[in-house]
Structures are given as C-alpha cells and as structure tokens.
Amino acid sequence: MTTSGAPDLDAITVANNADWPPESFAVTGTDGVAVDFTAGTVRMQLRKTADAATAYLDLQSPADGIAIATDGTSFTIAPNATLMSGVPAGSYIRDVLFVRDTETIFIGRGDVTVVQGITR
C-alpha cells in the first residue's frame, strides 16, 4: 500500500509537564481508500536526531499515547503528562509508522520542541 499526501507532520511545541495536545490523523491510500488502522499498530518515536540511540518517547497503539478511532479510519496521538515528564526540554524529531503483518507504512515525520514545564 502507498499512502497519498505529503510525509511532513506539522511542527509542534509541547511541555514536559502537561498532556500533548491531541493530534488526529486519517490516511488515504493512493487508491483513495482510507487506511484501516484496526488491522495493525501505529508507532511514534521521539529522538534528538534520526540516528540517536535514545528514544525519549516510544509510543504504540492501542495504548501508550496513541488511540485508534472506533471506526478504524483515524488515530490520535496524545501522550499524557506522565509520559511527557520523562522528556527533557529540547528539540526533537519524530516519525509515525503503521505496521501490519509484514508491511510497514511511513505516515510522516516532523519536528517537536519540548519546553521545560514550570508549574508542578
């Protein structure tokens, strides 16, 4: 399957003392059919660089900050404040993949700025 649309995710700024603002995504294949996310796993990792050994966030549906919509046509990324508390302030990159059976689909990639939370 090939997905349509640009592989760039919007840049986002989040705090490490709060919930990540929910981001919802629906993906359509080049055939115009919506991807059924119930048939696999959506994953996202947050790293300083693409080659960095440490993943500061390692999210995977159906838990860990990624939820699949009931109808399976979209997913939402929204790690909570507990997950975010382990991420130091700084600049990061992320990518999102959809994995099912032997197929891995690249959903997109983008920049993330994590600011130091003040209120505790």
Q: For residue 87, what is the domain's CATH number?
A: 2.60.40.10
Range of the domain at 83: 12-115
Provide the token pair at 118: 């003040």
pLDDT at 56: 97
Average pLDDT score, the chain: 91
pLDDT by residue (tens digit) across 7-26?
689 999 999 999 999 999 99
> Is 32 part of a structural domain of the chain?
yes
Backbone angles phi, psi at 111, to 5 degrees: -90, 145
Residue 29 confidence class, pLDDT cut points 50, 70, 90: confident
In a domain, 16, yes or no: yes
pLDDT at 3 over 60: no
User: Residue 6: is its pLDDT beyond 50?
Assistant: no
Instruction: Report the first-to-last Cα separation within the chain, whole angstroms.
Output: 45
Sheet of 75-77: strand order equals 23-25, 75-77, 66-68
Assigned domain for 72 exists: yes
Residue 111 is assigned to a structural domain of this protein: yes
pLDDT of 33-56, one tens digit each?
888 999 899 999 999 999 999 999
Residue 38 lies in a domain: yes
Sorted by sequence, the CB contacts under 8 Å of residue 90 that are 6+ apart come out as 48, 113, 114
